[in-house]
Chains A and B, each alone.
Chain A
Amino acid sequence: MKKYQTLLVISLVCLFSSCVQKAYKKTIVIKLTVHHIKGIKTVGIRGNGDPLSWDKDFPLQTVVKDSLYTLTSTVITGYKFAEIKFAVNGEFELKDKPNRRLVFSDTDTTNYNAVFDVNQ
């Protein structure tokens, strides 16, 4: 009987200790430079993982029209990186090319500088 009790306790400890992936608060600062496109109406980021989506822009703010756009956002994530692409006026960059990898820094803040349609 004691054997079964020990087994039960071990099982419960295994079940309820660290059974959920740890998630961290990460602040992401993105700066996007756009060259050679005039009359930009929308600039957004698309990708996987909340709050991003591949169907809808997560909008960037204009710093210099038709040139520099930025986004600062805080997310809670357990992932090491997110796959992303930028979109200008709803059109994806890097067509038929791999997605960008936004690797989250070990520190709280991740800085990511990019040029539209140019893969680093």
Chain B
Amino acid sequence: MQSALISDAVSKQRHSEKRRWTVISILLAVLAFSFVLDIATGPSLLNVKDVAKALLNLIGFPVEVDATTQVIVSSLRLPIAIMAIVVGGVLGVGGAEMQTLLNNSMASPYTLGMAAAAGFGAAMMLYFGSLGINTNIAVPLGAFICCMLAAAFLFALATMRHISSGQLILAGIALLFLFQSLLSLVQFVSSPELSQQILFWLFGSLSKASWSNLVIIISVTVICMFFLIRDAWKLTALRLGEERAKSLGVNITQLRLRTLIIVAVMTATVTSFVGIIGFVGIVAPNIAKMLVGEDQRFFLPLSFIIGAFLLSSASVLSKVIVPGALFPIGIVTAIIGVPFFFWLILGKRR
């Protein structure tokens, strides 16, 4: 009798796992649709069917398609569409892990000052005329270095034994204010032209996507995701509270430091190439949590997919809001993100 009840409970667990994989698959399909739509929209509106054909051509299934369409897809729009997916995914995962690490659903690399630090780094590079290096290399490099410096400060705090998650969040918020002020200072002392250049970088843009940038971003993302997935169960245990995770044999200081480094490297890399894109890091993990819970085996991939979908659809919106003009994507994500943020806060209150 008892063994029948146990095998019934095992099949319930398997069913629950299957349900969560189904949710992930559905959202993956939605993401694929948004990806094709992202490629189709732009100054010359392409037919979704033609886009699909051009993509099939690219992955080795020869289908007849117009040569111009093929060039637009493969050379111009595909890198941007892939960039939207990878950057959105990284921001989603970055937020998910920050929220896990700090036990706070409002934490993300953005709210902890890492993005502001990257912005400051980019602004400094623009201010100093890229230090004689090519601007396309100097600005991302400056952003990356400053973002890692801000993260290093958080690492130093995280390695202290008696620093709580709450204190880490406060330190991150303090960093956010510090870098925002420094950024304003740089803009204040800059010429109007330079100030405008800085402002445009801060808005966030996928237009600088190129195959060479993508190789860097995708390689970093794949390596970081591998390490995060490897720690999936430990990160799940961390959600039970630090003391309890410790009691289960997790080395909290090591896990916290390792995860912070991974998130910082991922965030710094994507932010340095596309600028500041807020809210994806907060919104994506919260939706993922509602759909599949906090077992990181499901939570982590879904946070990536939802983040990717949000940025991909924001990319579509940024092109259709004002037909013929490209609306800065950082503005679009914030406009979508803010109402959701309020819904989240009010939902928690109920």
Determine if chain A interacts with chain B. Answer: no
- Taking Cβ atoms with an 8 Å cutoff, the residues of B that contact A are none
